[in-house]
Amino acid sequence: VPVVDADVHCAVPSVETLYPYLTGHWPEFLRTSEIWKHHGGTNVYPEWSGMLATEGKAITLERLQTDVLGGVDAAILHCHYGVDSVQHPYLSNELQRAVNMWVRDEWLERDDRLFGTIAINPNYVDDAVAEIERAAEHDRFVQIALPVRSREEYGHPRYWPIWETAAKRGLVVALTYGGSGGQPPTAVNWMSSTYEDYVIATLNFAPQIMSVTVSGILAKWPALRIAVVESGWSWVPGFAWRMDAEWKASLREIPWVKEPPSAYVRRHFRFTTQPADLPDDPEQVADALEQLGNDEVAPHELLLYSSDWPHRYEHGVERVVASLTPAQADRVMGANALDWYGLGTRMQSLVI
């Protein structure tokens, strides 16, 4: 059974890397501008943090091959470059295209075990859709990244063309850690530390899941598949109970939501395994896992194995696998991702 790592990262080493992909005066503009020195991406993954550092110069394909690809059959690659933080509409469009071209040439083309995630600035929807259409012509781009800290929640009508394009193209939509929506991350404004920002990040994922679930997107495009990446999953059951309770109390407001929100979550969402916020007691880990599923959907169907490389954690997926049967573990370690991303049709070696 193939093993698929559903979340590994690369990073653009420096803005100069992208110059060959930029058109017109943009390379010259960037060479003589200051803007990129205060880039959003470095705030999301600060270099001082042993856990989160995602330093472009240190992350090479060779290292990825040694650290990750030796042990897996395929990996889903993310390149967070903070294009969503660029307000300049034309520069933003240039940069998103350049990032995706660079990922294509330097990563996907150089190792056919890698599958890509399309970076976009979702706030300029027309350009984002055009870029998705362009990038997806390469058949190893299997996913679109939407960073969870957005300008508006992703169920907002302004973003629907992106969902429509994902559905039409059969691309997974990834909700990813970070983002530069320009708003404070919480209702009490900005936190005082990266530690706090990191801890409360799941509270940015939760509203995005609810927004997508109640917005009507999933009724309109029932084939949509969403990967919740780098958020953990142990908080999902409790949040689903809360959503279901609210739904019962507001059927009149959202009549297109025909089933409890948790049913949509279990049908349309999958969660990567790393990082996992789990209790110390293995029995309680098993409980948390059980509550992620229900009588219809087994919990191990909802998880996609991920290392989140090069981010470093003390514990990996082994704490989850310990409470699974070997057949269930095979689903988590690869078969689920194979199905979710349709990798089998794209990569013959992965067909079971």
Partner 1 sequence: MTTIAEARTTEGHPPTLGIIDCDVHNSFESREEIDRYLPERWHGRPLVGGGGSGFAGLLGGIGPRTTNNRLDSTPPSGQRPASDVAFLCEQLLDGHGIVKAILHPINEVLRFSQSGELGRALARAVNDWQMQKWFAGDERLYAGITVPVEDTVGSVAEIERCWNAHPHFLNVTLPAITREPIGSAKYWPIFETAVDLEMPVVIHAGGWSGSLGGPGFPIYWTQIHCYHYMSHPVQLTSLVYSGLFDRFPTLQVVLEEGGLAWVPMLMWRLDRAWEEMREDAPHLERRPSEIIRSHLWFSTQPIDQPDKPQYLGRLLDQMDMDDRIMYSSDYPHWDFDDPARVLLKSEIGAERRAKILHRNALALFDFDRR
Q: Which is nearer to partner 1, 2 or 185 (CB)?
A: 185
Helix (H) or strand (E) holding 4: strand 4-10
Q: How far is the CB of 319 from partner 1 (least distance, A)?
A: 11
- Between 188 and 352, CB nearer to partner 1: 188
* Beta carbon of residue 54, minimum distance to partner 1 (angstroms, whole number): 15
What is the DSSP code string of 264-299? HHHHHEEEE-SS----SSHHHHHHHHHHHS-SSS-G
Q: At what angle do helices 125-135 and 160-169 cross, to 10 degrees?
A: 10
Between residues 60 and 211, which has the closer beta carbon with respect to partner 1? 211
Cβ at position 220, least distance to partner 1 in Å: 15
Beta bridge pairs of residue 272: 304
Sheet strands side by side (includes 141-147): 4-10, 74-79, 114-119, 141-147, 172-176, 226-228, 269-272, 303-304
Residue 54, C-beta contacts closer than 8 angstroms, at least 6 positions apart: 9, 11, 41, 45, 80, 310, 311
8 A C-beta contact, residue 269 and residue 209: yes
Of 288 and 304, CB closest to partner 1: 288
> In the complex with partner 1, which residue's Cβ is closer, 137 or 295?
295
* Residue with Cβ nearer partner 1 (13 or 46): 46
Cβ-based nearer residue to partner 1, 90 or 190: 190
CB of 17 to partner 1, least distance (A): 28
CA dist 101 to 13, 110, 119, 152, 338, Å? 14, 13, 10, 27, 24
CB of 348 to partner 1, least distance (A): 39
Amino acid at site 248: K
Looking at residue 333, what DSSP letter applies? I
DSSP 8-class letter at 340: H
Calculate Rg over the CA atoms of the chain.
Answer: 19
- Nearest approach, Cβ of residue 329 and partner 1 (Å): 22
- CB of residue 280 vs partner 1: minimum separation in angstroms? 9
